[in-house]
Amino acid sequence: MYIVQIASECAPVIKAGGLGDVVYGLSRELEIQGHCVELILPKYDCMRYDHIWGLHEAYADLKVPWYGSVIYCTVHCGWVHGRLCFFIEPHSSENYFHRGVYYGAPDDPMRFAFFSKAALEFLQQSNKCPDVLHCHDWQTGLIPVMLYEMYQYHGLEFQRVCYTIHNFKHQGQTGYNVLEAIGLNRPDYYFHPDRLQDPFNPFALNLMKGGIVYSNYVTTVSPHHAWEARHTEIGCGLGHTLHMHQHKFSGVLNGIDYGFWDPEGDCYIPFPYSHDDFKSKARNKKALRKQLGLQDEEDKPIIAFIGRLDQQKGVHLVHHAIYYSLHHRAQFVLLGSATEAAINAQFWHEKNFLSGNPDCHLEISFNEELAHLIYAAADMVLVPSNYEPCGLTQIIGLKYGTVPVVRGVGGLVNTVFDRDYDADKKPEERNGYVFYQSDLPAMESAIARGVGLWYDYPKEFRKLAMQGMEYDYSWRNPATEYVEIYEGIRHQSEPAEPAEALKPLQQQTYGLPVSDASSLENR
């Protein structure tokens, strides 16, 4: 199968978050399974050019219609750690991708609307005929819209779209000028509640909503997060749209690259180890304590937090966990940077206050090498997120035999199974501790169970850690699921359309009597 990934990121050349890791990891695994994969990306001025091999001009003078005129682009081609990537560089006074940042410009919706338009023009003008376009997040939400409303009549009638949402919080709200720029000049048609009209602002378009409505299939990054998006506030207003398109929506759990995250071959840790040589993990614990200046005379469990310090990650719980751990015979190590000034100031205050404590180290930054060592050395890793679409921290922790202590949200539910209370798993299949409430006692209970097991039943704790190492959260299984989705949509007779959602509501009763249709309308 011929698959083209269209995204705003691809690690390690363009990485602002987990999206880049997913795009790269999934593409790599799809190629391993025998499929042809190409990627189309913006050519940012600030991306990591040192990760691109053989960058050269592949297509000159790509003409992209824009506001009734044309913007010329150069398409460059290169290999990012073996993946074939095309980078689109527009030549215009707007300098859409020469801003020194990936995101955060006031005209981001216009920048990525242009990228989406240019990606389709590149496919059309270069006569590429992929079976499936896999688009990601709001930045490419207009691609399925334009494909159905415009490009299927200009040579792209056989392409089908899989659309993956990584974060519902950012949806790409914008105004009519985007429609005018890309050549979709019927505002009354698109400003419709069943097409692109924003659920909260009737005068705004929602690009993510457009991706949902017009794609052949929609995924998010874990099965439980898919449920949350439909039934809770996690959907950020798109729950009704997802309900109307539930027949083509599901969650596919993300994977991680075990070529990079594997304690047996990790070049960043001093003492590699495996499931069969688990005792060597303790040597990394000693190495971490020496590097961070933690006391090593009395052995204590190390509890770690690795990740962003922001509201999504449950910083109020992280802050409390530091002191709870210290007062309950555990050491605490934190590695992360804050996204808000107030949170940054709070944790710097804690770092200075605890600077003389021999059982605590707070590293308010991010260091890739140190992250690997902490995973290899810690006994438990804390993930107390308010919401977590998938989560990689707990998956990496499991691979390193570091027991996750997580809140039961999003992908954390799909990957961590409570040692004491998960009735759906056999005891030998359980791998961590889960708490569900966002209050302090709930987290304290989970940490206390882990610390208690470590002290009172060390063999049982070691067994729990090793059971986690047996789980396979590589990209192999997710890629297989995506191939099944691709196979399903590539045989559809036409590009996706919003027709199902646009039927009169009384025809969409989902098994209810027609007389009850009005109750659906009010939901």
Residue 383 DSSP one-character state: E
Residues making up the binding site for ADP-alpha-D-glucose: 15
Which parts of 301-450 are beta strand (E)?
A: 302-306, 331-335, 360-363, 380-383, 403-407, 433-435
Whether residue 107 is found in the same domain as residue 241 = yes
Residue 522 lies in a domain: no
Residue 43 lies in a domain: yes
Q: Name the packing angle between helices 142-149 and 207-214 (round to 10°).
A: 50
Span 37-66, average pLDDT:
97
Nearest Cα neighbor of 17 from 432, 313, 375 is: 313
Whether residue 433 is found in the same domain as residue 352 = yes
Pairing of strands 433-435, 132-136: unpaired
pLDDT-derived band at 339 (thresholds 50, 70, 90) equals confident
Which parts of 158-301 are beta strand (E)?
A: 160-165, 173-174, 205-206, 217-220, 249-251
Q: Is the pLDDT of residue 216 over 60?
A: yes
Tokens of 157: 């009638």
Whether residue 179 is found in the same domain as residue 285 = no
The CATH number of whichever domain residue 284 belongs to comes to 3.40.50.2000
Q: How far is CA 487 from CA 3, 131, 422, 480, in A?
A: 11, 9, 35, 11
Cα angle for residues 31, 35, 38 (degrees, 5° grid): 70
pLDDT value of position 366: 86
Q: In terms of residue numbers, what domain contains 416?
A: 275-469
Yes or no: say if 17 and 52 are a contact pair by the CB < 8 Å rule. no
Q: How far apart are CA 126 and CA 325, in angstroms?
A: 59
Whether residue 237 is found in the same domain as residue 295 = no
Residue 442 lies in a domain: yes
| Predicted confidence (pLDDT) per residue in 291-328, tens digit | 999 999 999 999 999 999 999 999 999 999 999 999 99
Whether residue 41 is found in the same domain as residue 72 = yes
If one compares 510 and 251, the residue with the highest pLDDT of the two is 251
pLDDT value of position 499: 53
Whether residue 357 is found in the same domain as residue 320 = yes
Residue 262 lies in a domain: no
Q: How far apart are CA 434 and CA 273, in angstroms?
A: 26
Yes or no: say if 397 and 404 are a contact pair by the CB < 8 Å rule. yes
Whether residue 243 is found in the same domain as residue 180 = yes
Whether residue 191 is found in the same domain as residue 322 = no
If one compares 488 and 519, the residue with the highest pLDDT of the two is 488
Whether residue 371 is found in the same domain as residue 284 = yes
Yes or no: say if 409 and 385 are a contact pair by the CB < 8 Å rule. yes
Span 486-495, average pLDDT:
84
Residue 279 lies in a domain: yes
Q: What are phi and psi of 268, to 5 degrees?
A: -90, -10
| Predicted confidence (pLDDT) per residue in 233-282, tens digit | 999 999 999 999 999 999 999 999 998 999 999 999 999 999 999 999 99
pLDDT-derived band at 494 (thresholds 50, 70, 90) equals low
Tokens 């896999």: give the residue. 134
Whether residue 349 is found in the same domain as residue 400 = yes
pLDDT-derived band at 497 (thresholds 50, 70, 90) equals low
Residues making up the binding site: 15
Span 197-217, average pLDDT:
97
Residue 297 lies in a domain: yes
pLDDT value of position 518: 32
Residue 260 lies in a domain: no
Tokens of 214: 């017009």
Q: What global pTM score does this model have?
A: 0.91
Total count of domains within the chain: 2
Residue 326 lies in a domain: yes
| Predicted confidence (pLDDT) per residue in 411-459, tens digit | 999 999 999 999 999 999 999 999 999 999 999 999 999 999 999 999 9
Which residues lie across from 18 on neighbouring strands?
Answer: none
Number of other CB atoms surrounding residue 519 within 10 Å? 10
Whether residue 214 is found in the same domain as residue 279 = no
Whether residue 334 is found in the same domain as residue 215 = no
Show the DSSP H helices in 293-361 as ranges: 315-326, 341-353
pLDDT value of position 483: 98
| Predicted confidence (pLDDT) per residue in 363-401, tens digit | 999 898 999 999 999 999 999 999 999 999 999 999 999
